[in-house]
């Protein structure tokens, strides 16, 4: 597990997400916009069954079907692209249960000149469209419960492009529109076909800026969190997982 992408933004209304990804919106449950989505939160996922693409809700943090309880999901918010096809928890979902996780941006923490602590950076697309993050999902049933099924998911991460390399040594896998059909078609299981998508997105697609450390508190979720703040220039030192809140 690689805890790289640990917070992200989900602010686009579900009807707009469904239209953007060519999906049908399922269920009556609507999630409140959040500019600080944290692990274990419910999030939107795009999934396809029998050729029908839907926008539904999953829990962030993969809980394998064989898990004894949900705690394991807290440690599986990300999955390394380099080992996705071989790790026990991820191998079968990668073959058969892939999804797209919409994100309007995500955060990374970096050391800025003149600062003792890491500053959060908000990374987003230059055109304002959502990122299509590559994900996998699984379902889990509590052996001691009432039989209710919980669906959970994780975000794939890989090597960074030149832009993200300025602040971190990994980044989420972002799928271009031309990859969506193949990625969501879980009848396609050829590792070579799927692994061809596990590459860094073009650096010109995105930009980032420093934001308030209020994002460190997962209970703070307002849109002010993505407002740029004035800081000194970014140092060359990349952030590490230990520097996150």
CATH value at residue 212:
3.90.1680.10
Q: Has residue 225 been placed in a domain?
A: yes
Domain membership flag for residue 120: yes
Q: Would you call 108 a catalytic residue per the annotation? A: yes
Q: Among residues 2, 5, 153, 186, which one is catalytic?
A: 5
Asked if residue 3 is part of any domain, the answer here is no
**pLDDT string in tens for the chain (245-residue length):** 334 679 999 999 999 999 999 998 776 678 999 999 999 999 999 999 988 999 999 999 999 999 999 999 999 999 999 999 999 999 999 999 999 999 999 999 998 777 788 999 999 999 999 999 999 999 999 887 777 899 999 999 999 999 999 999 999 999 999 999 999 999 999 999 999 999 999 999 999 999 999 999 999 999 999 999 987 544 434 444 434 44
In this structure, is residue 57 part of a structural domain? yes
Distance CA 37, CA 92 (A): 26
Respond yes or no: is residue 99 known to be catalytic. no
- Model pTM? 0.92
- The answer to whether residue 2 sits within a structural domain is no
From 2, 48, 108, 153, the catalytic residue: 108
Tell me which residue range forms the domain holding 108: 8-243
Domain count, the chain: 1
Say if 1 falls within a structural domain: no
Nearby residues of 51 by Cβ (< 8 Å), 6 or more positions away: none
Domain membership flag for residue 114: yes
Residue 106 in domain:
yes
């Amino acid at each position: 597990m690689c805890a790289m992408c640990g917070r992200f933004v989900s602010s686009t209304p579900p009807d707009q997400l469904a239209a953007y990804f060519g999906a049908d919106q399922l269920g009556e449950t609507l999630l409140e916009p959040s500019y600080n989505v944290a692990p274990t939160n419910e999030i939107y996922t795009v999934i396809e069954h029998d050729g029908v693409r839907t926008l539904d809700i999953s829990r962030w943090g993969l809980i394998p079907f064989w898990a004894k309880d949900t705690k394991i999901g807290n440690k599986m918010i990300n999955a390394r692209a380099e080992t996705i096809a071989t790790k026990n928890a991820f191998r079968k979902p990668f073959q058969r249960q892939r999804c797209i996780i919409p994100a309007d941006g995500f955060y990374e923490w970096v050391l800025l000149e003149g600062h003792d602590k890491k500053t959060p950076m908000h990374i987003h697309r230059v055109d304002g469209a959502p990122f299509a993050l590559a994900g996998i999902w699984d379902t889990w049933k509590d052996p001691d419960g009432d039989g209710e099924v919980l669906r959970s998911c994780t975000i794939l991460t890989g090597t960074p492009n030149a832009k993200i390399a300025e602040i971190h040594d990994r980044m989420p896998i972002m799928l271009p529109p031309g990859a969506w059909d193949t990625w969501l078609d879980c009848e396609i299981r050829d590792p070579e076909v799927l692994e061809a998508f596990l590459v860094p997105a073009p650096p010109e697609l995105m930009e980032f800026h420093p934001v308030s450390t209020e994002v460190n508190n997962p209970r703070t979720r307002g849109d002010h969190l993505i407002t740029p703040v004035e800081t000194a220039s970014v140092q060359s030192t990349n952030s590490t997982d230990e520097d996150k809140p």
